[in-house]
Amino acid sequence: MLNELDSRPQPATAGDLAMTGIAIASGKGGVGKTNVVANLAVSLAMEGRSVLVIDADFGLGNLDVLLGLSPRYNIGHLLTGEKSLEEVLIDGPAGVRILPAASGLQSLTAMNQMQHRRLQDRLERLRDDVDYVFMDTSAGISDNVTDVLASATRTLVVTNPEPTSLVDAYALIKVMQRLHPERSMELLVNSVQGESEAREVYRHIRKTTERFLSLSLDLFGWVVRDPVVPRSVREQQLVVEKYPDSAAARSFRALAAKLDSGKSPKTHPSGQVLPFRRDGSGRR
């Protein structure tokens, strides 16, 4: 099943050796963005990739809570210049580095141009050390969200099969097309029973985008609905770590393998070359 998706052409930048920026948004809140980001990031890190995650839900981020971390500093300290990037970054599972959001700070719900440039500049310095930068955005279609999406190499739009989520994903795609018509976007369908439900959701949204936006939207993949996801959230553990044999963990690893398929193999400190297995399970 993954092979069929894998045969789709990848965006040109995905095969680069350089840092790949992946931004995730959804329009509607609570559809699974943060869980997707955290599990994809950690899956890639477990395979030897160097991964950074930016909690770009600037005012109300909760990636640190999901991971059971208590950061001392956050992106607010970086943007005011009080702290350096190295001081603000914290280590998460499997060595993923995290740039925490400033939870509850209203002033950070919108970043000004200067702050945006400062963040870009700091990240640029990591270019040679980092394979993937994930950006988890807030719900909604604010300028903050669209700016972050526009700065990424790949943009994943997350939806689930509920009509409210589909409508909001469509609204986001529409706004992005108006603001950044050059960007292509990929759909990630979360909380599905399996491939056929994911493809049905994809067909539905594609019909609308093709008809009204003359835009092509690729299907990136899907994650199955699995009770281990809410359980792991309550436990502040990640599915791919705590429940590696679950259906959801298999989905996350398959998507991570798909993201990584265009990159050259990485040499692990042990000297071993670390490609994902062809079946996308991430296990060797």
Ligand X SMILES: Nc1ncnc2c1ncn2[C@@H]1O[C@H](COP(=O)(O)OP(=O)(O)OP(=O)(O)O)[C@@H](O)[C@H]1O
Residues forming contacts to Mg ion in the complex (CB under 5 A) are 33-34
Asked if 149 contacts 155 with a C-beta cutoff of 8 angstroms, the reply is yes
Shortest Å, Cβ 72 to ligand X = 22
For Mg ion, give the closer residue by CB, 33 or 250.
33
How many residues belong to the chain?
284
| 14-39 residues labelled b (16+ CB within 10 A) or e (exposed) | beeeebbbbbbbbbbeebbbbbbbbb
Is 230 near ligand X (CB under 6 A)? yes
Asked if 66 contacts 236 with a C-beta cutoff of 8 angstroms, the reply is yes
Is 194 near ligand X (CB under 6 A)? no
What is the Cα–Cα distance from 149 to 196, expressed in whole angstroms? 28
Asked if 126 contacts 52 with a C-beta cutoff of 8 angstroms, the reply is yes
What is the Cα–Cα distance from 88 to 97, expressed in whole angstroms? 10
Is 191 near ligand X (CB under 6 A)? yes
Per partner kind, with CB cut-offs from 5 to 8 A, the member of ligand X, Mg ion, none near residue 230 is ligand X
Candidate residues 226, 250, 263, 280; the one interacting with ligand X per rule CB under 6 A = 226
Alpha-carbon dihedral sign for residues 258, 264, 269, 272:
positive
Is 33 near ligand X (CB under 6 A)? yes
Candidate residues 47, 57, 131, 260; the one interacting with ligand X per rule CB under 6 A = 57
Beta strand 90-91 pairing with 97-99: antiparallel
For ligand X, give the closer residue by CB, 126 or 233.
233
Is 154 near ligand X (CB under 6 A)? no
Candidate residues 56, 89, 185, 229; the one interacting with ligand X per rule CB under 6 A = 229
Per partner kind, with CB cut-offs from 5 to 8 A, the member of ligand X, Mg ion, none near residue 137 is none
Candidate residues 15, 30, 68, 194; the one interacting with ligand X per rule CB under 6 A = 30
Site string for ligand X, 76-105 (x = CB under 6 A): ------------------------------
Candidate residues 5, 20, 27, 34; the one interacting with ligand X per rule CB under 6 A = 34
What is the Cα–Cα distance from 175 to 141, expressed in whole angstroms? 8
Candidate residues 49, 97, 154, 225; the one interacting with ligand X per rule CB under 6 A = 225
Compute the C-alpha angle 194/246/40, nearest 5°.
80
For Mg ion, give the closer residue by CB, 137 or 251.
137
What is the Cα–Cα distance from 161 to 142, expressed in whole angstroms? 23
Positions in the binding site for ligand X (CB under 6 A): 26, 29-35, 57, 139, 190-191, 223, 225-226, 229-230, 233, 248
